[in-house]
Amino acid sequence: MFWIALVAGLYAISQLVFVTPSMGLGWDETVYVSQVSPHLPAEFFSAPRSRGITLVVAPLAAVTHSTVALRVYLSLLSALGLFLALLAWRRVRDTRVLALAGALFASLWVAEYYGPQAMPNLWIALAGLAAVGCFLDALRRPAARPPLLGLAAALAVAALMRPSDAAFLGLPLFCLALLRRRLLPLLAVCGGLLAGTAEWIAEAYARFGGIGERLHLSSLNEGGLGLHWAVGDALRSIDGPILCRPCDVSWNHKPLELAVWWLLLPLLVVGGVLVERRAGRLGAALVPALCGLSVAVPYLFLIDYSAPRFLLPAYALLLVPAASLLAWLVTTGSRRRRRALTAVAGLALAGQLTGQYLQLTQEVAYTVASRADQPYVVPRFARLGLTGNCLLTGEDAEPLGYYTGCRAVETSGNDTNITAARLLREAPHQPTALLLYPGDGVPAYARAWSRHTVVGRDGGTDYVVYLAPRG
């Protein structure tokens, strides 16, 4: 276990070094963390979201409001998750190949960037990697109970994070267990998915009027699920923006290595499957390849936008056969051939690591700068009476609600949860503000409200605040 422990340890250290622990929380993060924080009101939890990541942060959020503590906690926990996910494969594949697969995944800029963030995608990736390892172990050892329990638990974690991703992840496993007539793995797959989805189903009836209505609202929130060719969107966004919606950015990949490895990955996966087939270990490469392709389907063919984090579960699985191919290239054939291929592979990996870490440092620097003003302006909001028992709507209402302790609502957009008429009815009873960026149009309901400007660290206007009159 030394090699996979080393990879997990380096993953934790790298996150702490390269992803600034004081980096402010993003909009989605504030929604998830606010659900369990005793210090502030829970923000609106829309139909597509699931409670898994909220449960992950709950132990820390219950005792501290510190962003640094949250980042460190998630860095260490994600490294432990990577270790456990690779450990699930210890009876299926050589640990050095597993360590290589884990290192390839952990060194992706998007895996480093989201390790310390309260977002579900990385956890789906780790749960999926563990689930496939346990599934293959269960096929090899029919009488063993630990791999069956691990399989059910891993799929339950994935379903808690996002039921739709877990369904696509579990579909190949369900089909393979059915074809092999393996009842216990089949029950473990179904039981894990059902256990993890139970909370989502219960909430669907409690808040949204049932499963069908929640799925309908989720589709509307995502812009209408259906057949879409999003492969180009995924390729254009592999180096950011972190949310490409609408994905109309131009092809301008810097560094170029990010695009090259993404395009080469399918070839590495096919090569890895062929190598493992020749070695009599076809399942060890084919099953993760099938599950990786399956979990990528909704993000490549069913939505019309993209984000680099969406494909993290696919990368975690596809890099297992890719690592098998790389290991085979540098350990077979004559000594001269091995040396030559090792040199080529080493140069390629060095270029890959350089490109990934350059992108990571750029993305972290941009994110830190773009979020730094949100906690900075909190005292200025307090001077306007916007602290504690207050109501915010408009631009950045969710993260600013998190930092000020105000309740955030939206009168338009994907997360609409209040009408303008209801907002006007509530405004006289508590401090209420509409937040706009300079130059934004003012909606009709707020044109008579008092106008104030909030200045950022650079002396420029960050927000234009319209305060509602008090009753």
For residue 202 the two structure tokens come to 């219960």
Task: Tell me: do 308 and 417 sit in the same domain.
Answer: no
Cβ(221)–Cβ(187) below 8 Å: no
Percent helix, strand, coil in the chain, to 5, is 65, 5, 30
For residue 295 the two structure tokens come to 């979990």
Give residue for tokens 């219950």: 62
Task: Tell me: do 390 and 346 sit in the same domain.
Answer: no
Task: Tell me: do 162 and 248 sit in the same domain.
Answer: yes
Task: Tell me: do 461 and 334 sit in the same domain.
Answer: no
Task: Tell me: do 107 and 201 sit in the same domain.
Answer: yes
Q: What is the pLDDT of residue 471?
A: 66
CB atoms within 10 A of CB 2: 9
Measured in whole angstroms, how far is the alpha carbon of residue 262 from the centre of its chain?
A: 18
Cβ(177)–Cβ(186) below 8 Å: yes
CB atoms within 10 A of CB 227: 8
For residues 61 and 84, give the distance between their C-alpha atoms in angstroms, rounded to a whole number: 24
Domain assignment of residue 437, given as a range: 374-467
**Cross-sheet strand order for the sheet of 461-467:** 407-409, 391-394, 432-436, 461-467, 450-455
Cβ(19)–Cβ(68) below 8 Å: no
Q: With residue 97 as reference, give the H or E element that holds it.
A: helix 95-106
Task: Tell me: do 276 and 411 sit in the same domain.
Answer: no
Q: What is the pLDDT of residue 288?
A: 98
Q: With residue 270 as reference, give the H or E element that holds it.
A: helix 257-278
Cβ(342)–Cβ(123) below 8 Å: no
Residue segments in the chain with a per-residue pLDDT below the cut of 70: 251-257, 471
Q: What is the pLDDT of residue 89?
A: 96
Domain count along the chain: 2
Task: Tell me: do 189 and 147 sit in the same domain.
Answer: yes
Task: Tell me: do 407 and 364 sit in the same domain.
Answer: no
Instruction: Give, in order, the Cα–Cα distances in Å from 452 to each of 126, 383, 391, 439, 464.
Output: 46, 11, 16, 14, 6
For residues 410 and 415, give the distance between their C-alpha atoms in angstroms, rounded to a whole number: 6
Of 337, 370, 403, the residue at which a domain comes to its end is: 370
- Check the CA dihedral 384-61-118-423 and report its sign: negative
SS3 466: strand
Instruction: Give, in order, the Cα–Cα distances in Å from 59 to each of 73, 74, 77, 157.
Output: 10, 11, 12, 16
For residue 385 the two structure tokens come to 């009476």
Q: What is the pLDDT of residue 253?
A: 57
Return the closest-CA partner of residue 243 out of 296, 298, 308, 311: 308
Task: Tell me: do 256 and 392 sit in the same domain.
Answer: no
For residue 305 the two structure tokens come to 């936008």
For residue 383 the two structure tokens come to 């001077």
Return the closest-CA partner of residue 120 out of 200, 177, 188: 200
Task: Tell me: do 354 and 432 sit in the same domain.
Answer: no
Of 370, 387, 410, the residue at which a domain comes to its end is: 370
Inter-axis angle of helices 312-329 and 257-278, to 10 degrees? 60
For residues 279 and 325, give the distance between their C-alpha atoms in angstroms, rounded to a whole number: 11
For residues 191 and 201, give the distance between their C-alpha atoms in angstroms, rounded to a whole number: 14
Of 346, 370, 394, the residue at which a domain comes to its end is: 370
Phi/psi of residue 333, nearest 5 degrees: 90, -170
Q: What is the pLDDT of residue 233?
A: 86
The residue type found at 342 is: T
Give residue for tokens 């820390």: 60
Cβ(82)–Cβ(3) below 8 Å: no
Question: Phi/psi class of residue 416: alpha, beta or left (left: φ > 0; alpha: ψ in -120 to 50)?
Answer: beta
Cβ(253)–Cβ(259) below 8 Å: yes
CB atoms within 10 A of CB 251: 8
Alpha helix stretches (DSSP H) within 107-182: 109-114, 121-140, 146-161, 163-179
Task: Tell me: do 424 and 441 sit in the same domain.
Answer: yes
Cβ(232)–Cβ(250) below 8 Å: no
Task: Tell me: do 223 and 203 sit in the same domain.
Answer: yes
For residues 197 and 47, give the distance between their C-alpha atoms in angstroms, rounded to a whole number: 14
Return the closest-CA partner of residue 11 out of 82, 97, 90: 82
